Structure 1
Amino acid sequence: MLPAGGGEAKGDGVAESTARSRKLGVLSRLRSKYDANSTLFWVCALIFVNQLGFGGIVPVVPLYSESFGVSKTAIGLAIAIYGLARFLLNVPSGQMADRLGRRMTLAIGGGVTVAGNIICAVAPEYWLFLSGRFIAGCGAAMVLTGTQVIIADISVPANRGRMMATYMGFFLFAVGIGPLPGGLLAEFVSLSAPFYTFAALAVGTTIVAWFRIPETRSWRSESAQATASKAPAKVSFRQQLSLLTARRGFALISLVSFTQFFARTGALFTLIPGLADAKLGLSTGRIGAGLAMANLMAMFVTYPSGALTDRFGRKAVIVPSTVFSGLALCLFALAGNYAWFLVACVVWSLASGVSAAAPTAYAADMAPPGMNAPAMSMYRMLADFGYVVGPLLLGSTADFVSTEAALYATAAMVVAAGAAFALLAPETYRRAVAAGDD
């Protein structure tokens, strides 16, 4: 019996050793991947925490504004002013990223976001709430511009779609899941609770920015190094912006993103929660749950869409997803019950997930060497103009015509922008062609 027992013990030892080796191998591979992508990892962690707080207030802002006894136009203003701050601060944030550094820009943005949301939470009247929204929007401009500049810094055209997709996957997942806890906090605690939560999460983004994000201002991608001799010797920030806006592709992708932001803030954030409440009789919690559950689906298509963007080109992803965004808006207008409301949410989230990375990758592709900060800041500014005017125009349309009419008009505008991009914009990258595979 002793020899048999010894054999079993030896066999167990070999099995344990093999299992330990496999575990160490997995940990080693994970560590290797982390070391190779640590900057991307922490940027994604930062944007996840930041946008989780933002998503939490999405279903609450219209209702919190309404609690002050204001009109639909004023409710739209409460959403639009956040975008106005982003619109005004995007380009200065790009300048800040070039002068002070990406990390400093992110840290300052996190601190400003904390202050803005605290003001919103304690505001005793509408105008102070509006001021808090503006301040929070200034912080958002610094955080969003800074993170996208970093992604542009660390990526090359061949992997930019996937890197942007990874970033946008965390972004959309956080925005998508945020309405669920935000709606529940508003329903069972108070309408101000989501703003306190956003402020607390913004403290986390500030800490991550300062202690975990490396400075990438001096980093230069291989493509930038290869073409550095072709770049202008010394061009002012304003001249760089002029060079970018003169490029047809850059102008058209900014138009597409303008309509997407117009639809997201004007329709999804401003009109649809109110329509679901008035027409379908849904509670804040059910609206938040519907938006959150549907938007989770975006996470599962974002990275595959980034791979498609790197394989088949940016336009092959941007154009179809834009058309489906318009379809989703029509479905929201037609929804007669909670089931159809969820269907509309799913179509919107899938379209958003598919198109999450491609437009930003396209804009970064259009940037000449050394112009990542002006390219990303100008792109965000033009897109955020839609954030500003969408809630105001659609809120007024809903007041004077109908909510459904506003949604149909927005759908037509989104599809028209996609068609213009399809017909007139040049393709910036396609791996198969670049590698001579076709």
Structure 2
Amino acid sequence: MTSERRILLWMCLLVGVNQLGFGAMVPSLPLYASSFGVSASAIGLAVAAYGLARFLAVLPGGQLADRWGRRPVLAIGGLISAVGSFWCAEAHSFVEFILARIVAGAGAGIILTIGQIVLADISPPDRRGRNIATYQAAFLLGFGVGPFPGGLLAGAYGLAAPFLMTGVASLLTTAIAWFLVSETRSARTSAVASGKAAEIPFIRQMLGLLSHRGFLLVSLISLMNAVVRTGGLFALIPLLATTTLGLSVTEIGFAMMVSGVFGFVAAYPAGWLADRIGRKAVIVPSTVLTGMSMVLFCYAPSYAWFIAASIVWSVAASISSSAPAAYVVDTAPAGMNASAMTAFRMTADAGYVIGPPGLGLLADLTSSTVAIISASVVLVSLGAIFAVTSPEKRSSAQR
């Protein structure tokens, strides 16, 4: 087995385990937050606090990955996430729960950022889409399967129990990072390119990348995907499904698990297409499909339609998982993988910060349906602008 494939294999195991734990608490999160007697906008704050911590952890995580190496920083992220998750399960007030979510989010931000940096390090342009798609397939499978055991745990042992599962998964993530993942900091960057990149301050590298029109637009698409996912799927849709369809946490978790299987199947073909026909040809349709899935969630008349909406969303998320990251790495100059993925992750995670409280507040003022559809319209509009104005980036950046 080549070094590239071996690292990819362990990274897939790492992110699969990590997202299995994360997915476990998704169905119960809004219900657990509401058990403290707070409003929809406050429930959004519980999701946003996690996203804010992820956002703030991205920059120091990327810098440390360049200074200390990818492997130790991955392990540190797992430990921080575990501490926060266990604390969530033991929180005695909403304020304490928010603080615990901040700690867990910081660890998650480090893990997700360094994971994408590792993939950028090991992937040549002609296999970049497929490598990232394979990694994202493991991500989606873990995230898709997690809600079902999480729902069962919540139903049997209470709404706090899935957070314990998340903490255990974070500890396993730490072990995989430390004992199985090889260091990739110099995997595909020449000493000359690395030296030239090091002469430019890290933050200036990020700002320079964000001034590129295509890089900025694909990052904004990821931002709005995060708004729709966290503000809609994580915060409002479980409540909407509970009140309008009478679904239990276990039923919502089962629907997400079924959809995760479909997303897993769609991931690799999407990466192959991104390598063969270009990144834009995958990014634009998946953006439209995400908007359609939100409409299905809002107007689902039955549990079967809710499952169908979950499948459409999961397939759209799977299709869009590899091409944007591949586009970002294609755009980045040699030696700037860490700064490129850091800028991309920070922009995307900003959606995690503004989405839940923003859509929660809009839902309080209007309705959950209006909030979710409004965010979807903005997302699809950005996809259309990207389709018309951004240059194609397929295998053009040689490492």
TM-score per shorter chain, which class? Answer: over 0.9
Equivalent residue, structure 2, for 1:81: 49
**Measured at CA, do residues 154 and 338 of structure 1 come closer, stay the same or move farther in structure 2, by a change above 3 Å?**
same
Contact 1:312 1:430 in 2 (8 A): no
Are 1:42 and 2:10 matched, yes or no?
yes
Of 115, 133, 142, 1:174 maps to 142
SS at match of 1:356: helix
Equivalent residue, structure 2, for 1:210: 178
User: How many Å apart are 1:39 and its aligned residue?
Assistant: 0.7
Give the alignment's TM-score, normalised by structure 1.
Answer: 0.88
Amino acid at match of 2:360: G
Amino acid at match of 1:368: P
Are 1:152 and 2:86 matched, yes or no?
no
Q: Deviations over 1:302-341 (max 9, x none)?
A: 0011000000000000000100110111111111111111
Give the alignment's TM-score, normalised by structure 2.
Answer: 0.96
Of 133, 151, 159, 1:191 maps to 159
Equivalent residue, structure 1, for 2:361: 396
Of 118, 134, 152, 2:102 maps to 134
Distance 1:144 1:197 in 2: 19
Distance 1:322 1:210 in 2: 36
RMSD of Structure 2 on Structure 1 (CA): 1.6
Distance 1:331 1:378 in 2: 32
Distance 2:369 2:115 in 1: 36
Contact 1:311 1:430 in 2 (8 A): no
- Uncovered stretches (5+) of structure 1, i.e. residues with no partner: 1-31
Distance 1:330 1:295 in 2: 19
Q: Deviations over 1:172-200 (max 9, x none)?
A: 11111111011110011111111111111
Equivalent residue, structure 1, for 2:284: 319
SS at match of 1:355: helix
Runs of 4+ in 1 over 3 A off after TM superposition: 227-233
User: How many Å apart are 1:295 and its aligned residue?
Assistant: 2.0
Residues 341-380 of structure 1 mapped to structure 2, 5 A cutoff:
341-380=306-345
Distance 1:159 1:133 in 2: 36
The one of the two structures with greater contact order (alpha-carbon pairs below 8 A, sep at least 6) is 2
Of 206, 224, 233, 1:268 maps to 233
**Measured at CA, do residues 36 and 88 of structure 1 come closer, stay the same or move farther in structure 2, by a change above 3 Å?**
closer
**Measured at CA, do residues 218 and 230 of structure 1 come closer, stay the same or move farther in structure 2, by a change above 3 Å?**
closer
Residues 238-277 of structure 1 mapped to structure 2, 5 A cutoff:
238-277=203-242
Amino acid at match of 2:117: V
Of 354, 377, 380, 1:415 maps to 380
Residues 224-243 of structure 1 mapped to structure 2, 5 A cutoff:
228=193, 234-243=199-208
Using the aligned pairs only, state the percent identity. 48
User: How many Å apart are 1:430 and its aligned residue?
Assistant: 5.8
Contact 2:125 2:395 in 1 (8 A): no
Of 237, 257, 261, 1:296 maps to 261
Is the radius of gyration larger for structure 1 or structure 2? 1
Q: Give the count of matched residue pairs.
A: 397
Contact 2:197 2:335 in 1 (8 A): no
User: How many Å apart are 1:228 and its aligned residue?
Assistant: 3.5
Contact 2:194 2:335 in 1 (8 A): no
| Stretch moving more, 56-65 or 333-342 | 333-342
Of 333, 339, 343, 2:304 maps to 339
Amino acid at match of 1:312: I
Distance 1:177 1:232 in 2: 40
- Uncovered stretches (5+) of structure 2, i.e. residues with no partner: none
Distance 1:81 1:140 in 2: 12
Distance 1:268 1:246 in 2: 31
Contact 1:256 1:414 in 2 (8 A): yes
Equivalent residue, structure 2, for 1:102: 70
Q: Deviations over 1:2-32 (max 9, x none)?
A: xxxxxxxxxxxxxxxxxxxxxxxxxxxxxx3
**Measured at CA, do residues 418 and 201 of structure 1 come closer, stay the same or move farther in structure 2, by a change above 3 Å?**
same
Contact 2:24 2:146 in 1 (8 A): yes
SS at match of 1:357: helix
